[in-house]
A and B are shown apart, each in its own frame.
Chain A
């Protein structure tokens, strides 16, 4: 069965520093991949998605992610962190049995230090 691993449940960066949040998936078949952000007491908001077009995907709020098939990875990056980026980030992958069903990672909480 498909699975998603997010390395690091908590990540702290200084304001202005590079943000790197890691996501690896298990499927041998290239899936559809997503990053969602969740602010406190809110639902999940789609940041970006990979659906087999360009491997470098740009999303909202300056975030981007690169699909690397050889590494089964879809890491999320942002060149310069802003205080407003503090939130929980979830990587999700479409299930092998049905692309409508997403398997989510356990999340990474990003803290931005002033």
Chain B
């Protein structure tokens, strides 16, 4: 596609529930990233995929968070047993690799009530 697409744009869930956030990167981009942006903060790195594999998942806060990219294109960020502290905007980005900078999606605003 022309840009990075994230769905849903907004998600409200109850504490303890499971959520999935989807990212569809720019066609042909091999690198995909997930970041989390809390209110009043800059984005914080969560995980980086090169192709199908997670090359760096050091930013995932705990084992309730998991991400996959089974075919090297679309990625899903999965959060189990959501907590109110998980409320944030989850940003996905993709790049062709190298150091040219990312292209970000518009994000998914997750609210845990």
Residues of A within 8 A of B (CB): 4, 32, 34, 36, 41-46, 49, 51, 90, 92, 94-95, 98-107
Contacts and interface: CB of A to CB of B under 8 A. Distances in A.
Nearest to A46: B101
Contacts of B44: 104
The 9 A-B residue pairs with the shortest CB-CB distance, nearest first, are A104-B42, A43-B104, A43-B106, A44-B104, A46-B101, A32-B99, A49-B101, A104-B43, A51-B99
Interface in B4-57: 4, 31, 33, 35, 40-45, 48, 55-56
A40 to B, nearest CB: 11
A15 B95 CA distance: 34
The listed residue with most A CB atoms (<10 A of its CB), out of B31, B33, B43, B105, is B43
B42 A34 contact: no
Contacts of A94: 99
B91 interface: yes
Contacts of B43: 44, 90, 102, 104
B38 to A, nearest CB: 10
B103 interface: yes
A99 B45 CA distance: 12
Grouping DSSP codes into helix (H, G, I), strand (E, B) and loop, the A interface class, with mixed when no group exceeds half, is strand
Given A49-B100, A51-B99, A102 B45 contact: yes
A107 B102 CA distance: 17
Interface residues of B, number: 26
A41 B106 contact: yes
Contact of B106 (A34, A42, A103): A42
A99 B99 contact: yes
Given A32-B99, A45-B104, A100 B56 contact: yes
A43 B95 CA distance: 15
A105 B42 contact: yes
Contacts of A92: 42
A106 B91 contact: no
Contact of A101 (B40, B41, B56, B100): B56
